[in-house]
Amino acid sequence: MPPTAPSLPRRVARILRTSLFAQVLCALVLGIAVGKLWPGFAADLQPLGDGFTRLIKTIISPLVFCVVVVGIAKAGDLKAFGRIGLKALIWFEVASTAALIIGLVAANVVQPGSGMHVDPSTLSTKAVDAKTAGGSLPSTTEFIVNALPTSFIGAFAENSLLQVLILACLVGAALLHLGHTKVPQVLPAIEQAQEIIFAIVGFVMRLAPIAVFGAMAVLIGQYGLGVIETYAKLIILCYVAAALFIALLSVALRIVTGLSLWKFLRYIREEMLLALGTASTESVMPRVMQKLRKAGARDDAVGLVLPTGYSFNLDGASLYLSIGTLFIAQAVGVDLSLSQQITVVLVLMLTSKGMAGIPGSAFLALSATASSLGAIPAGAVALLLGVDRIMDSMRVVTNLLGNCVAVFAVSRWEGALDLERAKKVLDREADADESESSVPDVAEPVAQ
């Protein structure tokens, strides 16, 4: 006799036990409920999300170093690595500029700030100063100089990805120069360290549902659902514009590689949901690197393009900044001309590149843009304080997808993508989703 199908409660219990996606989704819903019902208690849950993010951050720098060094050493061609970097920067500039333009067009069509009639004299910059800790965005020269490490250990201690990348490139180049005969034990040791780090990632990811629960509870408890009603037009516009940009990414990915973005989304669904819940792309970076390598992207391409994109390819932030600039202008009754809007794009093309890792960077970039125009009062940036955290989820998801597409596109451009393997991995994931209901009720380990 054929085995009987498991009952619905058993199937649900099995999914919750074995699926990280289901665990994170439940944690997300539970966090929203707790934040809404017990906002005071929710505020005490901040350490759950912060602790998880801290654990992940301790892994990122050594992981990037190992992946890049191994990638360069195994590729055996430093010139190819340089080409990958150049092509990545070209892709980043095109993608972020497209995001800025989509944001400006969307804000002009919908005009989310029109009709608010805010009096600029009632706005204060003190709240913005508190959000940004009185800091400022670095100039282009400062950004370049700060990317150069002052010490080998310091780059890892400060978790500076660009500095770690430079060190990894130098070590990888040195290994190529010396050859395997002079330092035969170094590369295997780095490869072993890389495997250890990926194992640690698997352990830490078991805590992801707890982190998402805490982060969402704090968000809803602090801001409530009322802010969504107040800024509904702006929030909806930003998320719709992000969806349009992601659709554009999907078309670009299909044209360049022939891969399906929808299948890739299913492939990294746990990571996307975790990024959505914690509002942090850093929390999923190690796992995404691992999955991109599994999906056929070569180590050197993954190791260079993805971490560099975290500093240079902030598509979601670019989208938000362009819409936000026009929103505050419309809210205070300032009509920006076409030339001024072109200036907005040019300024944001520069300021958005130095935002990563700086507290309140979005407000610093908006303040710099407003100052360059001279038509928007500096205090008007405070209008976005109440909604900024709600936009984090849109920004991180768009940033993450933009960087993943960049890895595939640049890898394909450079011949560093195993396309057949990529299609098999993504198709296998889709097949697994479709046949999930027919899988027998057998205990499985949590996906690593």
Structure confidence at residue 180 (pLDDT): 66
Give Rg (Cα) of the chain: 23
State the average pLDDT for the chain: 79
Structure confidence at residue 440 (pLDDT): 38
Termini Cα distance of the chain: 35
Q: What is the length of the chain?
A: 448
DSSP state of 337: -
Closest CA to 17 of 307, 371, 444: 444
Q: At residue 332, what is the residue type? A: V
The ranges assigned to domains in the chain are 14-434
Structure confidence at residue 380 (pLDDT): 74
Structure confidence at residue 437 (pLDDT): 39
> 254, 398 in Cβ contact below 8 A?
no
Tokens of 209: 């549902």
Q: What is the pTM of this model?
A: 0.78
CA pair distance 172, 167, nearest whole angstrom: 9
CA pair distance 94, 111, nearest whole angstrom: 25
- The helix (H) or strand (E) run that includes residue 343 is helix 338-351
CA pair distance 433, 171, nearest whole angstrom: 41
What fold, for 14-434?
A: Proton glutamate symport protein (1.10.3860)
Neighbour-count burial for 156-169, b at 16+ CB within 10 Å, e otherwise = beeebbbbbbbbbb
SS3 assignment for 188-252: HHHHHHHHHHHHHHHHHHCCHHHHHHHHHHHHHHHHCCHHHHHCHHHHHHHHHHHHHHHHHHHHH
> How far does CA 245 lie from the centroid of its chain?
15
Closest CA to 268 of 306, 314, 323: 306
Structure confidence at residue 124 (pLDDT): 57
- The helix (H) or strand (E) run that includes residue 438 is none
Structure confidence at residue 409 (pLDDT): 94
Tokens of 354: 């130095």
Per-residue model confidence as pLDDT tens for the chain (448 residues): 455 556 667 776 776 666 777 788 888 888 888 888 888 888 888 888 888 888 888 888 888 888 888 888 877 767 777 888 889 889 998 998 999 999 999 999 988 877 766 766 665 555 555 555 555 556 667 667 877 888 888 888 887 878 888 898 888 888 888 876 777 788 888 889 988 988 888 888 888 888 888 888 887 777 666 656 667 888 889 999 999 999 999 999 999 999 999 999 999 988 888 888 877 788 888 889 999 999 999 888 898 888 888 878 888 888 988 898 888 888 888 888 888 888 888 877 776 665 555 555 666 777 777 766 767 776 677 777 767 777 878 888 898 999 999 999 999 998 889 999 999 999 876 554 444 433 333 333 333 3
> 162, 308 in Cβ contact below 8 A?
yes
The torsion angles phi and psi of 375, rounded to 5 degrees, stand at -110, -15
Give 417's strand partners: 297
